[in-house]
Chain A
Amino acid sequence: DTAVSQTPKYLVTQMGNDKSIKCEQNLGHDTMYWYKQDSKKFLKIMFSYNNKELIINETVPNRFSPKSPDKAHLNLHINSLELGDSAVYFCASSQDTSGGGANVLTFGAGSRLTVL
Chain B
Amino acid sequence: GQNIDQPTEMTATEGAIVQINCTYQTSGFNGLFWYQQHAGEAPTFLSYNVLDGLEEKGRFSSFLSRSKGYSYLLLKELQMKDSASYLCAVMDSNYQLIWGAGTKLIIKP
B residues sitting closer than 8 Å to A (CB atoms) are 30-31, 33, 35, 37, 41-45, 48, 50, 85, 87, 91, 95-97, 99, 101-102, 104
Contact = CB atoms under 8 A, between A and B. Distances in A.
A99 B87 contact: no
Contacts of B102: 41-43
Contacts of A104: 33, 45, 48
Interface stretch (A11-19, A68-76, A79-87, A107-115): A107-115
B44 A107 contact: yes
26 contacts: A41-B85, A41-B102, A42-B99, A42-B101, A42-B102, A43-B87, A43-B102, A44-B99, A56-B96, A98-B95, A99-B30, A99-B91, A100-B31, A101-B48, A103-B31, A103-B91, A103-B97, A104-B33, A104-B45, A105-B33, A105-B35, A105-B43, A107-B42, A107-B44, A108-B42, A109-B41
Given A99-B95, A103-B91, A43 B43 contact: yes
Chain B interface helix/strand/loop/mixed: strand
A90 B42 contact: yes
Contacts of B97: 45, 103, 105
Interface string A27-61: 00000000000001111110000000000100000
Contacts of B35: 105
Interface residues of A, number: 21
Contacts of B44: 107
Contact of B101 (A41, A97, A100): A41
Contact of A100 (B45, B48, B85): B48
